[in-house]
Every structure is written in C-alpha cells, then in structure tokens.
C-alpha cells in the first residue's frame, strides 16, 4: 500500500514499499521515473496501461562457480621440483666455490711486520687512593668523628642550668624531717637554713658543671689540634708518596722498555731462542699447522703439516649444463691434483710470509711440508711432500695474485714429486738428504706419541 500526492501541476510523487517514483504529464500520457527505472503509462476512464523502458536497479547474480580446485598439477609440481634442484645446485656451487677460494688464497693475507715497541709514559698518579691510605694510617676518620665533622673547631656543650627550686625543696625536706607540723617556728627556721644550704649547693654545682665544660673543651681542643697535625702530615706525605709512585712507575716502564728493546735486538740478530718463540706464537692459529724447529745464522727451518687431497679437495666442482643451468661435475684426477698443488703452495707462501713478518732477522726460510698418508703402502705414515727455501727479497711481500704452484717450483733447493700425467703430489725420497730424513723421523716420532 502506498500514497500519492501532487507537488506541482502535472507532477505527482508516489511512495510505496517498492520505493519512490515521480510521474510527469497528464494521465493519458504520463512518464514515470523511480528506483525501478523509467516507464510510460496511459489511461482513459477506468482502464490504464504501463510499459517499462529500462534503467534503474539491476538484479545481480553470483558468478557461476567452476569446478572445485583439485590442487597443483603434475606440470606445476615438476616445475617446482626443477626450481628446488636449481636452487640446491646454486647453493652447492657457491659453497664449493668458497672452498676453492679459501684453499688457494691463504697467501693473500697481509701479515703486519714486527716493529720495535715503544711504551707510552706511565699514567698520572691518582692521589685519592694514596690519600685515603695515609688518612687511615693517621686515624683521621676517627678524629673527624670525635670533633663533630672536622670542618669547624669543636665547642663543648654549655652546662645545663642548676634547678635551684628542686635543690631548695630537697634541702627543706631533709631539714624538716622529724619536726612535727605544729612546730611552726622550728619549721620556719629549718626552711631558712635549708634555703641557705640549697643556694650554696646550687653555686657549687654550677661551678662543677662549668669546670666539666672546660675539661671537655680542653679535650676537644686537643683532638682538633691532633686532627690539624694529622692533616698536615698527610699532606706532606701525600706529596712524597705521589712522587715515589711516579718514580716507581717510570722505573717499571724503563725496565719493561729495556726488556722489549733487548727482545727486539734479539729478533733483529735472529737469536734462536727469541726467534723460535716468536714464530711459535705466530703459527699457533694457522690453518695449516706449522712449527719452527731450527734457527741458525739468518736461516730458519719450519715444518708444516698439510692434509691429504681426500681431506680437503671436494670431489665435485661447479659447472653448467649445455643449456646454462647450474650443476655439479666430478673433478678429474688432474683437476684434483692441480687444485691440491695450488692449495699446498698457497699455505706454504702464507707460512713463509708470516715468518718474514714476525722475524725481521730471518733472511731465508727453509720449509719442510709433511702429511700423513691415507692410501698406498705408506698409509698412516708421515711422509715429506715438499722441501724448499724462500728468501726475503722475493717472497716477503708475495701478492695474492702470485701463482702458488709456480712459487713451489721456483723455490731454491725445491723438491716436489709430481707423479704421472695427472701430476699427483707424491711423497719425496729423502734418503739422499740425511739431515731432512732425520728431521722427518724426529717429527714423526713426536706426532705419533
């Protein structure tokens, strides 16, 4: 049910449950506009007709829902598997490439050259701890407490005034004791006598209190004087103690500087004890363990331990498929031996460079490289795989771009056994080098203990 009303000549507005519409024109040809769109009606007498012209609200229907999802397809799963394999290959490539770089870049390190150490002047002496110690010994803290803080001369407290009335009552009570209440005259005489006695007692007590005040003041004055003397003594002793501490520190610095200078001169002279100790400390954190075993003249002999190829060279290497995808490829024996030789040379050069940096008096480093065999008849035996001498002029500042394998071949008195077409690094025959053979036996004995 709705209602209709005229708003202007020929214009009517109708409101109903279906919405609001407006009609314009005579009943015979009226145009209707509303929420249901645009329409035209005509009517004569009791008959009428209506036609809809479109517009207005449109009904909407939900989109048709297709068949339910059945999960990833085989093609998408295969593509995802390929992506995962590619990512794994890429990660393996990066890991193997990093291993290779580390194996052949040990000699790229820069080792700071040893230099004479100049100790700085000793720190200024802090007077506060010394003053506190001197004041404790002088008993200043106790004197400060006894004098009420130690900032101003102490004053003894003024004596309390004598209560004369209390004295008078007490004396009257004593004098009147035993006199009956009706003995008025006797009680008056007793009171007069008591008053005189109480006055004398008050004067005596006042004098006593003043005397006690004087005694206390004398005691405080004595403490104040002792405090002043103690403070003056501490001030004098503080100056002397600070000077003595400064001298002690300077003497200690000079003594330590002398020790360091002597050690520096020993390094410059390539003194065996000092040089070997310095090299042992420097080699302690090396990737390839090394130890100095001899120092004579300008020469130092170092033994370096290096692992077998199986322990450090990865079986596979980064590669690409014909289509350009990342993959891993098994190394050939030649590739394995080539990488092992370069890794050996890199670590030898690093040890040599560090020796020259630490020991300024060393001009030649002879290095003996040993390893424990894992295969062949010599399995579990220690063997020598390289011997060579390196001079400071050519190898002190060997750059990271230098081919470490060529450095091994170019060393003075070099012995390197490259076996077969794959150039496998094989054990050396030291039977013709008695000195090195004895060194190897001694080192092997120590490592096997």
What pLDDT, in 10s, does the model give residues 296-349?
999 999 999 999 999 999 998 888 888 877 778 899 999 999 999 999 999 999
One domain for residues 315 and 442: yes
Could you give the number of structural domains in the chain?
3
Residue 146's pLDDT is 93
State whether 303 and 434 are in the same domain: yes
Asked if the structure places residue 17 within a domain, the reply is: yes
Which range scores top for mean pLDDT: 37-51, 105-119, 320-334? 105-119
Query: Tokens in use for 204?
Result: 């005596």
Q: What is the mean pLDDT of the chain?
A: 87
Pairs from 283-292 (Cβ < 8 Å, separation ≥ 24): 283/351, 283/354, 286/350, 286/351, 286/354, 287/106, 287/347, 287/350, 288/106, 288/347, 288/350, 288/351, 290/351, 292/355
Q: 3-state class of 308 per DSSP?
A: coil
Distance of CA 331 to the CA centre of its chain: 42
d(CA 404, CA 303): 18
C-alpha to C-alpha distance for 94 and 112, rounded to whole angstroms: 31
Q: Let me know whether 148 and 235 are in one domain.
A: yes
Instruction: Quickly list H helices, 148-183.
Output: 164-176
DSSP assigned state of 375: S
For residue 65, pLDDT over 80 is answered with: no
Contact (Cβ atoms closer than 8 angstroms) between residue 364 and residue 392: yes
Query: Which string of DSSP letters, residue by residue, matches 73-103?
Result: -HHHHHHHHHHHHHHHHHHHHHHHHHHHHHH
Is the domain of 131 the same as that of 250?
yes
The packing angle between helices 333-358 and 272-283, to 10°, is: 130
What is the value of pTM for the model shown? Answer: 0.65
Asked whether 399 and 108 are in contact (CB, 8 A), the reply is yes
Give the pLDDT confidence of 349-370 residue by residue, as tens digits: 999 999 999 999 999 999 999 9
Best CA proximity match to 343, nearest among 407, 398, 429, 413 = 407
**Residue range 335-351, pLDDT digits in tens:** 999 999 999 999 999 99
Residues whose CB is less than 8 angstroms from the CB of residue 43 and which lie 6 or more positions away in sequence, other chains included: 27, 28, 30, 49
- Same-domain status, 291 and 264: no
Q: 326 phi and psi, to 5 degrees?
A: -70, 135
Position 297 in a domain: yes
In this predicted structure, the answer to whether residue 437 has a pLDDT above a threshold of 60 is: yes
Number of alpha helices (DSSP H) and beta strands (DSSP E) in the chain: 11, 15
Q: What residues make up the domain containing 385?
A: 287-448
Q: Based on the fold, state whether residues 323 and 392 are members of the same structural domain.
A: yes
Asked if residue 102 is part of any domain, the answer here is no
Pairing of strands 19-24, 3-8: unpaired
Q: Is the domain of 291 the same as that of 263?
A: no
Are 246 and 292 members of one domain?
A: no
Q: Are residues 264 and 306 in the same domain?
A: no
**Cβ contact 258:181 at 8 Å:** no
What CA–CA distance (Å, rounded) separates 333 from 423? 9
A 10 A CB-CB count for 360 gives: 19
Same-domain status, 444 and 329: yes
**Structure letter (DSSP) for residue 207:** H
Q: Is 419 helix (H, G, I), strand (E, B) or coil?
A: strand
């Amino acid at each position: 049910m709705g209602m209709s009303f005229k708003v202007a000549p020929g214009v009517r507005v109708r409101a109903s449950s279906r919405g609001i519409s407006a009609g314009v024109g005579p009943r015979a040809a009226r145009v209707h506009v509303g929420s249901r769109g645009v329409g035209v009606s005509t009517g004569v007498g009791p008959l009428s007709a209506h036609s809809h012209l479109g517009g207005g609200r449109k009904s909407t229907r939900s989109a048709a829902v297709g068949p339910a999802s059945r999960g990833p397809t085989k093609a998408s799963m295969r593509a995802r598997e390929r992506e995962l394999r590619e990512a794994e290959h890429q990660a393996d490539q990066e890991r193997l490439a990093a291993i290779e770089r580390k194996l052949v870049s040990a000699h790229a390190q820069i080792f700071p050259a040893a230099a004479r150490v100049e100790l700085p002047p000793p720190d200024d002496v802090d007077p506060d701890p010394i003053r506190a110690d001197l004041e404790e010994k002088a008993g200043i803290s106790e004197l400060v407490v006894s004098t009420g803080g130690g900032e101003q001369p102490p004053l003894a407290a003024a004596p309390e005034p004598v209560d004369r009335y209390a004295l008078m009552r007490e004396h009257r009570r004593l004098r009147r004791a035993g006199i009956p209440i009706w003995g008025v005259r006797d009680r008056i005489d007793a009171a007069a006598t008591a008053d005189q006695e109480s006055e004398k007692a008050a004067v005596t007590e006042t004098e006593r209190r003043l005397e006690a005040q004087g005694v206390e003041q004398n005691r405080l004055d004595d403490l104040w004087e002792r405090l002043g003397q103690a403070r003056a003594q501490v001030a004098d002793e503080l100056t002397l103690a600070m000077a003595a501490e400064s001298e002690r520190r300077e003497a200690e610095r000079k003594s330590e500087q002398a020790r360091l200078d002597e050690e520096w001169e020993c390094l410059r002279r390539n003194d065996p004890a000092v040089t070997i100790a310095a090299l042992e400390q420097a080699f302690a954190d090396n990737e390839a363990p090394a130890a100095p075993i001899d120092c004579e003249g300008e020469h130092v002999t170092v033994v370096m331990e290096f692992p077998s190829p199986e322990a450090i060279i990865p079986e596979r290497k980064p590669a690409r498929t014909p289509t350009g995808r990342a993959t891993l490829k098994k190394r050939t024996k030649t590739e394995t031996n080539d990488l092992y030789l370069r890794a050996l040379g890199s670590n030898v050069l690093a040890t040599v460079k560090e020796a020259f940096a630490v020991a300024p008096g060393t001009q030649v480093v002879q290095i003996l490289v040993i390893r424990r065999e894992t295969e062949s008849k010599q399995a579990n035996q220690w063997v020598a795989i390289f011997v060579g001498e390196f001079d400071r002029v050519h190898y002190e500042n060997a750059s990271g771009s230098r081919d470490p394998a060529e450095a091994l071949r170019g060393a003075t008195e070099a012995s390197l056994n490259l076996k077969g077409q794959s150039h496998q690094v094989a054990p050396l025959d030291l039977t013709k080098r008695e000195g090195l053979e004895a060194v190897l036996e001694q080192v092997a004995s120590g490592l096997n203990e």
